Amino acid sequence: MYSIGEFSHINRITPKTLRHYDRIGLLKPARVDGWTGYRFYSPDQLPEIRRILRLRDLGCSLAEIAGVVDGRADERTLLRDRERALVRAVREDRRRLARLRAWLADTDEESHMADTVTIRELPTVTVASMRTTVPNYDAFFEVVPRMGEYMTSVGAVCRTPEYCFTIFHNDEYRDEDIDVEICEAVEASRPDSDTVTFKVIDGVPEAACVMHHGAYDSIGESYNAPFSWIEANGYRASGHPRESYIDGIWNCERPEDWRTEVQVPVTKR
């Protein structure tokens, strides 16, 4: 038998934590001295405490661990759930890192030039179009491949140079439940499907444009520049904003290298 001090030393866990595990029923001592109240643990409990500590190290809550220990929950299911949570956390941390690097880069002259608003014409194009509502920006990576598969199946040929853009039909910026029309410029129309339509999108005589550098979930910050410019220079927005994808996940591994042009149709007041 091990005293609580010995057991804590072997497993590198404080006696205070062991007492807490005892109180909540997570790990009861093998024996408690009736006279002194001292707790003692058996060698058979070493695998049990190590299991608890491993799950705790992975970020599982005491309630979740208790469910596994007493048989109410399946350990493998808990680990799979935890794996998915960690993947989401890692993805979000990568986005934060990309935003941080982009913010640091704002001190560079090149980054300031990238924030410059330009006015230019957007051409008339024949496009393959998919109008849908996506839950968030990540969902683009699920929708766009399906659209590409259909275009390939009907022999659609993308225009050269490529012009892939999204028209946002919401009246305000949103980062979830986004009403979008995903467009890929093509050489000629092809048969429509239930989800993909071929059509001509009229050109825009003037659009306020600015280049966004970085992941898509931070693109809302880049909308400030064109709309501030529009207000300050006697223009007004006259159509739904577009995002034209120059570089992205398909050709750049690092999100901070992605380039997306925000395009806002405008007219003079």
pTM: 0.57
Instruction: Give per-residue pLDDT as tens, 178-228.
Output: 898 989 899 988 888 888 889 999 999 999 999 988 877 777 778 888 888
Instruction: Give per-residue pLDDT as tens, 44-56.
Output: 999 999 999 999 9
- The amino acid present at 151, given as its one-letter code, is M
Same domain, 137 and 233: yes
> With 70 as the cut, is the pLDDT of residue 176 above it?
yes
In a domain, residue 90? The reply is: no
The residues near 155 (Cβ < 8 Å, ≥ 6 apart) are 190
Q: Which residues pair with 237 in a beta bridge?
A: 266
In a domain, residue 104? The reply is: no
Instruction: Give per-residue pLDDT as tens, 49-75.
Output: 999 999 999 999 999 999 999 899 899
The residues near 58 (Cβ < 8 Å, ≥ 6 apart) are 79, 82, 86
223/81: higher pLDDT? 81
Range of the domain at 23: 2-73
54, 73, 92 — which closes off a domain?
Answer: 73
